[in-house]
Structure 1
Amino acid sequence: MESRLRVNRLTLIHAVLAYISPEFTALSHLPLPLPTEIRFRILTHLHLTLSASLLESLNHSLQNALDDLCHSCRAYNCHVYGQNVSDWPEIRATGGCWCAQIGGHPRPEIASDRWNSDECIDAKIRSPMADSDPPPYFSFHLRHVAVTYLSTTSPSPYTREIEAMTTSHAGAKEIDALVLKVLRHFHCRVSPSKPRAWKLEDELCIIPISDGPSDDETLCTLQLALELDRHHDFVSHSKLHPRNIKFTPPLISHSPGEGFPSFLFVMMAD
């Protein structure tokens, strides 16, 4: 039976970014006169600290994407697609207000009775299921991380891949190239799969590059080096995970003189 390791795409990307970060690279190569167990714990703590920083950056990018939507588009998306911000087509697939992109026409008013509303249809919004690149907010997050990494003077064997992520058109191809190069360093690769939409929640299958009796050892080395188990637990339970970002509109006040209602942006753990 072929040895394999299954991992969530967001977990793998952030684990790789933490592993190649200037901070982690510098400490892992620093000759510290410490027992192996203590050194390993220090690196594990640093890896998870970097993971937390990456999730904060991702959350900041998602909040900025939400701020780019007008009040009408926020209300429309929340009403039609639900409170989970990362599910909104204008966040997940396109970025920016659609009312501005379709000729400046505002969204229709949201009916008070959600279930009897005929205004929940917007044929102009393309389905995010067809997207082959990361959500715009995630691409912005990756560019920010890449620029930060390149601002240091520390040499890296992944400089070319990091530089490719800083371009304005960087997408799935660039981040996948970085991930695959790190995996090749550990003699692993992602098992080919049928072409489909690129999603952060996709489960990827990692396998050794060549079959052999040491396949399990190869995967174990990768798992420990990237802290995949700990990173998965940390990311999946974090309130900063995109799927845990909820947008809750308050009660609408009809007081005279009031314009659009304000909205509450909250983070909720599953």
Structure 2
Amino acid sequence: MSLHTTRIALTHALLAAFHPSLVTFRGVSLPLPAELHSRICADIHAVVTQHLLQCLQECLHSSLSSLCEDCKTYNSCVFGSCVVDWPCTRTGAKCFCTTAEPSTPRNGVSDDCDYECSSSFMLPCRDCSQPPMYFINHVRDILSTYSSLDPKFPYAKFPLRNGNDIDSVLSTMLSTLGCKIKPSPVMDNWGIADEVVLVPSSTATDEQQTTLAHLRITLQLSPRPSSISLHVAHLRTVTYQQPVRLDTSAGKCALFV
């Protein structure tokens, strides 16, 4: 017995489910029918999830704003208009054009660089075993916000430096719901759209069925992963369009290519 989803869908489902306002509402005893109470929880969960997607887009916009216009144009010409397709967006590379001298190598980038050493004008190393920096920053910001709303929020203590840290947060949250992430034989990559399999912690068959049903309702996860593309689609709406320059835009683009 298992439940299949993706890491980005699971992350947002858990972040929405553990929003302090929703946790508080679940703990309040109200004279409401169980069905109505569940419906209100589902509506709050949907609103929070939509807000999380908007925050994720804001993280991408923040990455875009850290680049100068020349770097943006270069990346747009080479990698396309979708910001998530730019290597510098994944690695978190900053723009050094305003500080580096034209004759100076840009920040001494080498083959064994980490994701804080690459200029956006070069091809940064693609460490696919780690999550994109914008996603790490996104999760860190959300947990920090929750902590400010509720000083007793227990999940803001994680350092969130890499994929293992994010998986630790997700696993700890899932453990309170009686589930865990099934270990994957593929350990080389860490992708936000990678499939993850959720299994109950219990070994009793009847209890497993109940646990998975409760998990699906609490996290509002679809029995089929057809809705998961929605999360990735929100990422790809953040695009950069080159400014129109009647005399120089064509030549400039050709220079970069």
TM-score, length basis structure 2? 0.79
Post-superposition CA distance 1:29-57 (Å, at most 9, x none): 11111111111111000001111111111
Root-mean-square deviation (Å) = 3.0
Q: State the Cα distance separating 1:248 from its structure 2 match.
A: 2.3
For 1:11, what is the secondary structure of its paired residue?
A: helix
In the TM superposition, residue 149 of structure 1 has moved relative to its aligned partner by: 1.1
Contact 2:182 2:199 survives alignment (8 Å): yes
What CA distance in whole angstroms lies between the structure 2 residues aligned with 1:252 and 1:238? 34
- 2:169 is aligned to 178
Following TM superposition, the consecutive aligned residue runs of length 4 or more in structure 1 with deviations greater than 4 angstroms are: 98-101, 103-106, 232-235
Contact 2:14 2:170 in 1 (8 A): yes
- Give the C-alpha shift of residue 11 in structure 1: 0.8
| Counterpart amino acid of residue 57 in structure 1 | C
**Partner amino acid for 2:55?**
S
- Which residue, out of 74, 80, 83, partners 2:81? 83
CA contact (8 A) 1:93 1:131 kept: no
Alpha-carbon distance in structure 2 between the residues aligned to 1:220 and 1:198: 27
Q: CA deviation at 1:181?
A: 1.1
- The alpha-carbon deviation at position 150 of structure 1 amounts to 1.2
Instruction: Find the residue that maps to 2:196 and give its secondary structure.
Output: strand
Is the 2:6–2:196 Cα contact (8 Å) retained in structure 1? Answer: yes
- Equivalent of 1:17 in 2, 15, 18: 15
1:122-170 Cα deviation digits (max 9, x unpaired): 9952342x233322222222222122111134534xx1x32224xxx63
Match of 1:143 among 136, 140, 145: 140
Separation of aligned partners in 2, 1:203 and 1:62: 22
Measure, in 2, the Cα distance between the counterparts of 1:173 and 1:238: 21
Paired position in structure 2 for 1:131 = 128
Query: Does the 8 Å CA contact 2:57/2:234 hold for their aligned counterparts?
Result: yes
Please point out which of 191, 199, 213 is paired with 2:191.
199
Q: Is the alpha carbon distance of 1:242 and 1:185 closer, same or farther for their aligned partners in structure 2, counting shifts above 3 Å?
A: same
The TM-score, its normalising length taken from structure 1, stands at 0.75
The one of 206, 231, 234 aligned to 1:241: 234
Identity %: 28
Q: Matched residue pairs, number?
A: 232
Contact 2:8-2:231 within 8 A present in 1 as well: no
In structure 1, what is the Cα distance between the partners aligned to 2:165 and 2:232?
Answer: 27
